[in-house]
Structure 1
Amino acid sequence: MTRFLSALASALVLILLTPGVAAAHAIIDRTEPGIDKVVEESPKKVVMFFSEPIEVTFGGLRVVDTRGRRVDEGATQLVPGRDDAAEVALRRDLPNGTYTVGWRVVSADGHPIEEAFVFHIGAPGKNPLGLTDEILSGDSGSGRVEGSLLGATRWLTYLALILLAGCLVFVVGIWDRTTVPPDVSEFFERRLRRLASSAWVVALFATAWSLPLQGAVAGGLPLSDAFSVDVLGGVAETRFGAVALLRLGLLGAVAACGFIAWRKYSLAELRTVGAAARGRQPSPAGLTLAGTLLIVLLVTPGLAGHPGATPPVWLNIFADGLHMMGVGVWIGGLAVLLIAALPATGSIGDSERAQVMAPVVQRFSDLAVVAVAAIIVTGVYASWIQVGSLSALTSATYGWVLLAKLAVFVPLVALGAFNQRYVKPRLESDGRRGGATLPMLRRVVRLEVALALVVVGVTSFLVNLPPAKLETGASGPFITDTRIGDYNLNVLVDPNTIGENQIHLTATKASGEPARIFGMRVELSMPSEQIGPLPVRGRRLAKGHYVIQGRQLSVEGEWRLEVFARPSRFEEVTTAIDLQVGP
């Protein structure tokens, strides 16, 4: 138990030290008026269309003229009948000139995004860049600390729900079917209660803390301001907040069921009288209720994440819930085996210990095979939905992190196969060899649990990234983040199809503030068709933000985009990006 908690604490520290990810999963499809476009008449409103559903509770659209005066009227709202578009009304008969639209929205999976663009009435004004510099350089109250803490709550929530599922399945499907000595059963019951209670407390506090943290990150607020009634109320109105509140309610119901169940019967008493005592097991209705509550709990991460925002939503939610259930049975069961079952048999002789653990390991291994099969099938499906192509797997951050998760998952499965093929038969065939086999089992399970902690940590990081098919443009606009010199570079190619495109290049410092760039240019090439390089110079829209517009992307397929930036008048840095251009 102590070693498990040490590994848990170490993993948590690593997550807290990881910089908070500011990835935004919704990107602009189009705007009305268009970005940097000239319109002849004063528009009645500004409308923005995004690649996925958005929320405007912690943001909105703000329109100002070149003197910084607000020209929008009323509150920002979703376009009637749509959840992927926002609009704000404008004053009537605006004079000719340049106007700046500063906007901030939250993607359906809870990630905030903000930017600014300009449009012109009649003709560009004296300041054709508008006030994008001032808007984008404004200090945000939240930073890496809030983002890292929010990531930690997500990881702890995953881990706690997995442990709760493992506790229930292990007791009902494995331990409760095995006859063991009374002292062994009493020890197991104490450990199980401690593990289940700890998991419940972690899930409760991680979920509760995620509410103000989400308010801070989504609203760009310092954490001290995120505990206000207005902010918490705003979070409760979002999908993230509604799911978090649902989870809190389900955790309360689980606690009530657990309290009633443990008051009515004792596992230790059941095992004392052996099979004859099975008449005092929990009622089928009670087990059904507890199982249903845990299933819904395991679905909640998907409701607030990618599955809940990616069509077909119902199928993705089902697949994600089944994936979580498989992880709960396998990984959660491993934790129970390591923390409760194996230590519980430490007080008896080696031969008897092997005889007790043999059926436990056998039943768990059989369940684990089914669980791993469910994990693999649903994992492949989710990867296909979020990645979409092999090229996206190796050219997007999401794809590389997914491969890293797979690199840890494969040896984890191999260790499980080793237990299934080698350890389980030795325990089943000869109890006298238990003295040698059980220590081996303990070492393998410890390694499995350690790898499982890494997998859960990578998963909590993965859900904070934009899907690979969105990042690579396999479906709609292309968006990615990379490094150029000492700065972060965001690249957006819209609409990423043959013909006219806009390439937005935005360089930022590590703090998120716009970088000072004296010029940007790109060279576009398609090596497979011997096209290019085609040099194009960027036009400055704001500090650190350049745009390139043209019809250089004339053929469907894989293009190479080389970006050159001048952080000073006498220095040039470069980076290269591959993108898949659609028809």
Structure 2
Amino acid sequence: MNMKSTKILVRIICFLLILMGGIGNVQAHAGLVDSSPKDGELLHHNPGQLSFAFTEVLEADLVEIHLYDWNGEEVKLERPKLQPGDASHVHVSLPPDLAEGTYTAIVSVVSEDGHPVEERLIFSLGQKSAHVAEPSQKQADPTYLILLRFLTQSILLVGGGLYLVACLAQRYGLPSFAQSLGRGRPIGWLLMFIGLTSLWFVYDASLPAASLTTALWQGNVSVLSQSPFAIMLLVSALLLLLLGVPGMITGWYVAVWLLLIVTQAFGGHAWGLSPLWLALLLRVLHVLSIALWLGALAYLLLHRSQAQRGNEAFKHFFLRLVAMAALVSLLTGILMLWVQTDLAKMLESWMIWNDLLVVKLVLVLLMLIVAYRQRNGWLGKHVLNEKRLRWEVVFGILAIFAGLWMSQMPYPG
């Protein structure tokens, strides 16, 4: 990285730090701030309804409330309704003949960032039950969604980064994207399309109340717009179809690949943050830098023998590109952590999210260590170590997995 590029990057970072100086932390998922009755409250009379107040505006078709008695059996309720004039409040009527005992209310909503959120409230009517069974409702298992996101978006990011790097590497006499993958290109395209389609249905099944597939078929924009993740999947599928159009100029495919990579930044926690534009900008830069970093490593792994044959111009270009991508990835990751979390609360209450953060940081550190040793070997002995390249790619893929898992969980604070 030359001095001019370093100065520009430092100025951008300083600008972002100044902007973030006045940013307060907000919840990345919809959170319950008030309820009637209160959690654990003992009521002497039937309140007539359950009321919940959230930190965000809700969509009526994506709200679901279930009530269970002390035996874990469900009590039938009417459809919940939003409070007129304040869509962050939702209420549901209670049956007038509700028996005395302890009840568990479970309210499921979709937050502004498209993530399903579930809140529980326990209250008693007349008297507390001696024994309270777990509700019979089965919670959605996020495992399949996380694995599908990992597989699909890993292929997409590495493939997109590989294409962009291959376009640049052609200037130095190295193989193109088509020459690099050959018959693997249609297979990769098919895997991405199957992955996006499967993600849609798995995600749809995890949401309360309304079906996104039904909303899409009926053209219900208000329901679809409540989920940025669903919009991200639809746009990604459209871009993937455009990517499959044959015979277009190189600029067409470069633009579509760039849009496809950047689109992956719009399906996460950023939508619940303020200012929104800064949160999205950090995510776009983070995702794009990761794609370039891993795409560059994948390209070098495919053409290791050709790259180390005295091609000094490509060597210096590649090292500058990877250094810049690694630096931007690391810095935007730190800035995103600063914007999206309350660091004090994060340290006070240790969660699985914190463990994943530590794992991701260790993996990135290992990538940097391996990259530094690879750089020294390439510059000194003019030799690329294939084993180190493979490990660097593996560490990067695992870091993506940790990051995607974190994105499916509420941020601390």
TM-score by length of 1: 0.56
Alignment correspondent of 1:433: none
1:452 aligns with 2:407: no
Cα distance, 1:379 vs. partner?
Answer: 0.5
CA separation of 1:41 and 1:312: change in aligned 2, threshold 3 A: farther
- Unaligned regions of 5+ residues in structure 2, if any? 1-27
Say which of 246, 253, 266 aligns to 1:303: 266
> What's 1:178 paired with?
172
* Structural mapping, 1:426-575, within 5 Å: 426-427=381-382, 437-438=383-384, 440=385, 442-468=386-412, 470=413
CA pair 56-113 structure 1, distance change in 2 beyond 3 A? farther
Cα distance change of structure 1 residues 455 and 292 upon mapping to structure 2, 3 Å threshold: same
Structure-2 residue corresponding to 1:208: 197
* CA displacement at 1:393 relative to structure 2: 4.1
What do residues 395-450 of structure 1 show as CA deviations (whole Å, max 9, x unaligned)?
333222211111111120122233334413544xxxxxxxxx14x2x232112112
State how far apart, in whole Å, the 2-side matches of 1:464 and 1:337 are.
32
Structure 1 residue aligned with 2:116: 111
Equivalent residue number for residue 369 of structure 1: 323
Q: Using a 3 Å threshold, how does the CA distance of structure 1 residues 325 and 64 change in structure 2: closer, same or farther? A: closer
1:48 Cα offset (Å):
1.2
Aligned to 1:250: 239
For these two proteins, the number of residue pairs brought into alignment is 378
Going by fraction, where is helix more abundant, 1 or 2? 2
For residue 34 of structure 1, what is the aligned residue in structure 2? 38
CA–CA distance in structure 1, aligned partners of residues 123 and 224 of structure 2: 33
Q: Which residue does the alignment assign to 1:324?
A: 287
1: CA distance between counterparts of 2:243 and 2:82? 36
Q: Which residue matches 2:93?
A: 90
1:205, 1:81 → 2: CA distance? 42
**Which protein is bigger by CA-based radius of gyration?**
1
Q: Which residue in the other structure is 2:379 paired with?
A: 424
- Preserved CA contact (<8 Å) 1:61 1:76: yes
Aligned 8 A contact 1:112 1:217 in 2: no
Partner Cα distance (2:292, 2:74) in 1: 58
Matching residue of 2:145:
150
- Root-mean-square deviation (CA, aligned residues, Å) is 4.0
Indicate whether 1:76 and 2:80 are aligned. Answer: yes
Letter in 2 for 1:386: Q
Which residue identity does 2:304 align to in structure 1? L
Per-residue CA deviations over 1:347-374 (Å, capped at 9, x if unaligned) read: xxxxx96134x43332121111111121
Tell me the residue number matched to 1:536. none
**Cα distance per residue 1:514-540 (max 9 Å; x no partner):** xxxxxxxxxxxxxxxxxxxxxxxxxxx
Q: How far apart are the structure 1 equivalents of 2:192 and 2:95?
A: 51
Contact 1:322 / 1:374 at 8 angstroms: preserved in 2?
Answer: yes
Shift of 1:323: 0.2
- Give yes or no for the alignment of 1:383 onto 2:308: no
Q: Could you report, residue by residue, the CA deviation over 1:483-525 in whole angstroms, capped at 9, with x for unpaired residues?
A: xxxxxxxxxxxxxxxxxxxxxxxxxxxxxxxxxxxxxxxxxxx
- Partners in 1 of 2:365 and 2:304 — Cα distance? 25
Check conservation: 2:116, 2:208, Cα contact below 8 A. no
Aligned ranges for residues 345-360 of structure 1 at < 5 Å? 345=306, 354-356=309-311, 358-360=312-314
CA contact (8 A) 1:106 1:218 kept: yes
CA distance in 1, matches of 2:45, 2:263: 47
* Deviation, structure 1 residue 104: 2.5
Instruction: Measure how far apart 1:390 and its partner are.
Output: 5.4
Worse overlay, 324-333 or 210-219? 210-219
Report if the CA contact (8 A) 1:57-1:238 is conserved.
no
1:31-85 CA-partner distances (Å, limit 9, x unpaired)? 1343344679876753312345655645512468999896854x324445656x3
The offset of 1:380, in angstroms, is 0.5
Contact 1:192–1:336 (Cα < 8 Å) also in 2: no
Structure-1 separation of matches of 2:162 and 2:322: 14
TM, length-normalised to structure 2: 0.76
Greater RCO (Cα-Cα under 8 Å, separation 6 or more): 2
Matches within 5 A, 1:114-153: 114-118=119-123, 124-125=125-126, 127-129=127-129, 133=132, 136-140=134-138, 144=141, 147-153=142-148
Aligned residue type for 1:306: H
1:76–1:302 Cα change, 3 Å: farther
- Relative distance call for 1:353 and 1:164 in structure 2 (3 A) is closer
Counterpart CA distance in 2 for 1:465 and 1:95 is 35
The 1:50/1:296 distance shift into structure 2, 3 A limit, reads: farther
Distance 1:387 1:102, change over 3 A: closer
Q: What is the alpha-carbon distance in structure 2 between the residues aligned to residue 299 and residue 56 of structure 1?
A: 30
| Letter of the structure 1 residue corresponding to residue 136 of structure 2 | G
Q: Deviations over 1:99-118 (max 9, x none)?
A: 84442233444234253433
Output one character per residue of 1:215-274: Cα deviation in whole Å (capped at 9) or x when no partner.
Answer: 3333599xxxx9985899899565132322222112112222xx223xxxxxxxxxxxxx
Is contact 1:26–1:113 with CA below 8 Å preserved after alignment?
Answer: no
Cα distance in structure 2, aligned partners of 1:150 and 1:252: 23
SS in 1 for 2:309: helix
Contact 2:289–2:329 (Cα < 8 Å) also in 1: yes
Aligned-residue offset at 1:325: 0.3
Give the share of equivalent positions with the same residue, in percent: 18
Query: Does structure 1 residue 312 correspond to structure 2 residue 266?
Result: no
CA 212–95 in structure 1, closer or farther in 2 if over 3 Å, else same:
closer
Q: Distance in 1 between matches of 2:165 and 2:381?
A: 22
Write out per-residue CA displacement over residues 176-235 of structure 1, whole angstroms, 9 at most, x where no aligned residue: 21135xxxx48x6333344554443332222111122123333599xxxx9985899899
Contact map agreement 1:164 1:200 (CA 8 A) in 2 = no
Tell me what 1:519 maps to: none
Equivalent position of 2:365 in the other structure: 410
Is the aligned partner of 1:401 residue 2:356? Answer: yes
CA contact (8 A) 1:43 1:90 kept: no
Distance 1:444 1:66 in 2: 58
Q: 1:220 to 1:453 in 2, by over 3 A?
A: farther
